Amino acid sequence: MIDGLDPVIHVPKRLAAMAILANAPSASFRFLKEQLRLTDSDLSKQMSALEAADYVKSTKDGHGRGASTTFSMTRAGRKAYAAHCAALRALMDPA
Amino acid sequence: MVSSMESGQVREQLLLVERAAAAPYVQYPPTPWWYAPIVGAWTAAFIAGFAWWRENGAIFTAWLGILLAAEALFLIWMRRRHGALPMPGHGKPPAEIAAVWRGYFVGVAAIAVLVALAWWFGGVPVAAAAAFALVTAGLVIYERKYAIAAGKVRDRLA
């Protein structure tokens, strides 16, 4: 493993989700799905992986058909994302 | 596991990060026509409430409570409608958007000074009317500038 690159975040779909969550207090399932151009099941899978790593947390609003899920980044996620981005930049500019 | 990366892959990942990070700022539903006048009216109503400040403390407090509750509901609605509403101090906006945000805060300060002057010279009714006109016009200008900046970011990252 390259120093600082996080294998959980390294997957492009998850990296993009983390980049969105780093720039908004929360993001809805719908917004992430549209921006990442993923199917419901694929997005659920990617967000579950990030939740399992304790990088994001999800909140469900409402019940039934009107219910919506929003995601926000945890402190650990923020730290891991910042370290991952710093490692990527260091790879581009080792000096 | 991340074992090795070529510079092309790294560049691709950094571009992916930049595009995704910009999404909350530049991918948003069209602003409804009534947004600016409603916020202008809210500000005017907030200032008008000060007419009760010394006359009736209970009405003044209830009025502020109603306005703050309305603002909270409005923010919840905006957040749901947008999907990932960006907030100052949370993340790093693209340079084009950051410049518009700086202009917004300068505009808010200028409007506050002008409304305070209107209050000083004309009293609460004049200040409320000035607040409605200035906030509505200021938001229309801000929305236009923001839309242009967001377009520039989308073009740059396309």
CB interface of B with A, residues 97-136, below 8 Å: none
Question: pLDDT of B33-45, one tens digit each?
Answer: 999 999 999 999 9
The predicted structure's pLDDT at residue B121: 95
Chain B CB contacts of A91 below 8 Å: 5, 7, 10
Q: Indicate the residue of A10, A24, A34 with minimum beta-carbon distance to B2.
A: A10
Separation of alpha carbons A33 and B57, rounded Å: 49
The predicted structure's pLDDT at residue B53: 77
Q: Write down the mean pLDDT value for chain B.
A: 93
In 3D space, the residue among A66, A75, A85 whose CA is nearest the CA of residue A19 turns out to be A85
Question: pLDDT of B2-50, one tens digit each?
Answer: 446 677 888 899 999 999 999 999 999 999 999 999 999 999 999 999 8
Cβ partners under 8 Å of residue B46, min gap 6 = B64, B67, B131
- Chain A CB within 8 Å of residue B81 CB: no
Percent of chain B with pLDDT over 90: 82
Chain B CB contacts of A1 below 8 Å: 1-3
The predicted structure's pLDDT at residue B83: 94
Q: Is A68 helix (H, G, I), strand (E, B) or coil?
A: strand
Q: Is B51 helix (H, G, I), strand (E, B) or coil?
A: helix
The predicted structure's pLDDT at residue A2: 61
B5/A91 Cβ within 8 A: yes
The predicted structure's pLDDT at residue B56: 86
Report residue A61's pLDDT band, with 50, 70 and 90 as the boundaries: confident
Question: In the predicted model, is pLDDT for residue A95 greater than 90?
Answer: no
Q: Closest approach of chain B CAs to the CA of A46, in angstroms? A: 15
Mean pLDDT, residues B79-104 taken together: 94
pLDDT top residue among B61 and A66: B61
Buried b (16+ CB within 10 A) or exposed e, A37-47: ebeeeebeebb
Q: Determine which helix (DSSP H) or strand (DSSP E) holds B77, and give its type and residue range.
A: helix B57-82
Per the document, the length of chain B is: 158
- Chain B CB within 8 Å of residue A10 CB: yes
B7/A16 Cβ within 8 A: no
The predicted structure's pLDDT at residue B1: 43
- Measured N-to-C along each axis, helices B124-157 and B7-26 cross at an angle, to the nearest 10 degrees, of 150
